[in-house]
Amino acid sequence: MKRIIKTFILLILINFSMAQIFLLASEDSLLKIGNEDSKVTVKVFSSLTCPHCANFHKKVFYDLKKEYIDLGKVKFEHHSFPLDLAALNAEKVVRCSSDVEKRFQLLSKIYESQNKWAVGSDINKINDSIKKIGLNLGLSSLKIDKCLKDEKVQEKILNERIEAQKKYKIESTPTIYINKKKYNGDHDYKKFKKSLEKLL
């Protein structure tokens, strides 16, 4: 049954890509950063083609990292929840590096240039654009090509999506949790910060 669900999701992603529909971490392990013993954990379930996800990353993540994550006060987790084939492939490239800092650099660059690569319906052109981001951050062409074809990583990402859907009842991206409570506020750092401070 689980295999059928994964196949169904993959078919949906492929169809979304072909129809130009973009609904607005070892090498395949969870991407997380920060102190494991932090009192606060921020979980962000996102699709790399989602404009609101990119907006949260740019408006909240950088300040959050500087003021809380780097100081050991908060642990941050990026959970992949791809809504289309382009997002799935971008996630594969993020996981192409085994270095956590490099992964977050890839994640940031992918979000920062989202409006340049996450366009059109030609998945090959999209893959080429994603590949350029990886090349600019030091990944080899051969490694990126291997990552894009890696079926085990693809299966893991789709499994994570299925499990997240079951556990957190995700209806849109980004879905954000601060510890066990869903954050429903604006993607404004000052407002987000207030929610954190109550728990520290």
The predicted-structure confidence for 106-158, as pLDDT tens digits, reads as follows: 999 999 999 999 998 899 999 999 999 999 999 999 999 999 999 999 999 99
Strands 74-80 and 40-46 come out as: parallel
CA distance 64 to 74: 8
22 — pLDDT class (breaks 50, 70, 90): very low
Pick the CATH number of 2-197 from 3.20.20.210, 3.40.30.10, 3.40.50.410, 3.40.50.300: 3.40.30.10
Per residue in 40-84, pLDDT (tens digit) is 999 999 999 999 999 999 999 999 999 999 999 999 999 999 999
Alpha helices in the chain (DSSP H): 2-18, 51-56, 62-64, 85-94, 100-112, 114-117, 123-136, 141-148, 151-168, 189-197
Q: Is the pTM of this model over 0.95?
A: no
Helix (H, G, I), strand (E, B) or coil at 183: strand
- Specify the pLDDT at position 2: 56
